[in-house]
Chain A
Amino acid sequence: MIPGEFEYHAPKSVPDALALLKQFGDASKLLAGGHSLLPMMKMRFAQPAHLIDLGKIAELKGIREDGGTLRIGAMTTENELIWSKLLQDKCPLLVEGARLISDPQVRYKGTIGGDIAHGDPGNDHPALMLALSASFLLRSAAGERVVPADGFFVGTYDTLMKAEEIMTEIRIPVPAAGAGYSYCKLKRKVGDFATAAAAVMLRMNGEAVKEIAIALTNVAATPLKARAAEDSLRGKPLTDAAIAAAANLAMSICDPAVDQRGDAEYKTAMAGEMTQRALRMAQSRAKG
């Protein structure tokens, strides 16, 4: 399978890319790692007349810590996230999540920014971003703005990003030392999207939950923040009954698309199971 015809552009800087985006407007698409867009172009689900490749823009790569915030260039690949010593130390949830994305070859090309900006509810970074209270730096010819992950995802393939914007950076507040974390993902095989997955970040205060974030992948048109489940656990001990009740609350907001991975009832049940497993794993990893 070969994509339809298009013109290829490889800008060397963000301003050059923004100028191309402005020039070609709706006829253009941004190319990140290409492992969602190129398959869609082969299938003719996407037929841009102009492809703007962000792969040659050095400033869009890299991972650094800056005053309590992790700043990740949008074109940083999954493989680079996995091998980052900084992330392994400061944000292991992101490493755990990236390890569960697709397969090794895809992870050399696939990027964190592409995964987020694509708006596919099957992608894993969106729920990870919700659990980590991340925000995104969006640049356009008119300037830049920072948009929180919570609220960014509007629908399937639909986000708050405007056509004239490029996501340049992902910002994550460094999780507190001793925070527990887990990303539990059920998938049929390597390379598949999640049947359901749950991301959890939590801090304990003795036996009680001090802070908690729960987010779900691929069980609705967007990633879901399981607010009622979070609220039910805050300040309480993480007993089996509390975990089961929180999982039920998480299941109550699921509205999964039916496909070969299962019907709505099954996927919702699996979202509950992944939530329970992620809570238990995060609890076992939390210190303090």
Chain B
Amino acid sequence: MGKKHTVSFKLNGKAVDVVVEPRELLIHTLREKLLHTGPHIGCETSHCGACTVDLDGMSVKSCTVLTVQCQDSDVLTIEGFEQGGALHALQQSFSEQHGLQCGYCTPGMVTRAYRLLKENPDPSEEEIRYWMAGNLCRCTGYQNIVKAVQHAAKKLAAAVPNRAA
């Protein structure tokens, strides 16, 4: 067995420590050790995007990141979106615009869309489709996902700036 490492990082703003073998993937640490089962395992081959989390300001597929790489990192999962009992604008929009059917891809979609809107607060439909292309959905045909992201962009733009996080 590879020598175990203690890895400390922030998960949804809270400090966590885990002891892992070097080969442990971030998605497994999140789901099995830290019981954050929002990020899903779809393909485990970095194709589907269901395991997407936000890592230090990047959308990453947590099936293709080693937990040992995350020392001192800041990790955001879908569990970190709701604040004080209120859903994030993206979560509201996916609900209102029917941006999901089975829901399996949704945590990855929302987490990816979060970073997209941070980088481009007012994306066109074409831009949403280009920058969301790392997330697969086998139900919706994407149309309502695009609508949900556009809807969330409007909500966030209309919100008081200090609540737009």
Contact = CB atoms under 8 A, between A and B. Distances in A.
Interface string A45-89: 000000101010000000000000000000000010000000000
Contacts of A10: 68-69, 71
Chain B interface size, as a band, is 20 to 34
Max chain B C-beta neighbours (<10 A), residue from A102, A104, A191: A104
Contacts, number: 83
Nearest to A2: B23
A103 interface: yes
A218 B133 CA distance: 22
Given A104-B133, A105-B60, A190-B133, A8 B66 contact: yes
A268 B63 CA distance: 35
A222 to B, nearest CB: 25
Interface of B: 1-3, 5, 21-25, 28, 44-47, 49, 52, 58-61, 64-66, 68-69, 71, 112, 116, 131-134
Interface of A: 1-8, 10, 34-35, 38-39, 41-42, 51, 53, 55, 79, 102-106, 108-109, 190-191
28 contacts: A2-B25, A5-B2, A5-B22, A5-B23, A6-B23, A7-B2, A8-B22, A8-B66, A10-B69, A34-B65, A38-B64, A38-B66, A39-B64, A41-B23, A53-B68, A53-B69, A55-B69, A104-B112, A104-B133, A105-B58, A105-B59, A105-B61, A106-B64, A108-B58, A108-B59, A190-B134, A191-B133, A191-B134
Given A8-B68, A53-B69, A109-B64, 7 more contacts: A5-B1, A5-B21, A5-B22, A7-B2, A8-B3, A105-B58, A105-B61
